[in-house]
Structure 1
Amino acid sequence: MRKSIIVLFVSVFAFGCSLQNNYPLGTSEAEFTKKNKMFIEVAEKSSQRTVYKKTLPGNSYLYYYFVNEKLVRIDEGQLQPNVVIERVNGTY
């Protein structure tokens, strides 16, 4: 019983670690997509860049940005800016 719990814990830990970011900048897009087929989706594709979204445990995401088929940026997505509209002299 104790042995099976340890094996389960190690398996879950290894799976979670495999979903984390292990790709240095400069990694080729082909290598990245080959190793992550099941975990990524294309978030944006244009002539300038391709962005992949990878879902992590806890409903968080990592975004991988490729330019000229090379990894150039990794982040957790961009937050929407706070928009403040002030009323000045009766106009907006």
Structure 2
Amino acid sequence: MRNNEMPHAPVGPAVNKDEEALARPFVKCLLRLIRTQDSFGLWEGNSDAELLAEFIITKEQQCATPLIGDPDSDALWRLDMFYTAVALAIE
């Protein structure tokens, strides 16, 4: 392959990895927990992927987070939701 050529996209049936991941029982449980916390309906129009975006951080975001200090209340809430979903999955 020459330097200026772009590789071809894979041929075959496309699998939507996001939809596959969102169909997992643990993720469904986590989404239910998040949506039950929305008492004012602020997240009603958001997709499941948009709600879970807050739970995923990039390597750059992780490096920018200070090691010393108190985490913000949103981070603590996300941890609480995640571990509650873990406990429900174990139960």
Band the TM-score falls in, shorter-chain normalisation: under 0.3
| Higher strand fraction (1 or 2) | 1
| Higher helix fraction (1 or 2) | 2
Q: With CA pairs under 8 Å and 6+ residues apart, which has the higher RCO, 1 or 2?
A: 2
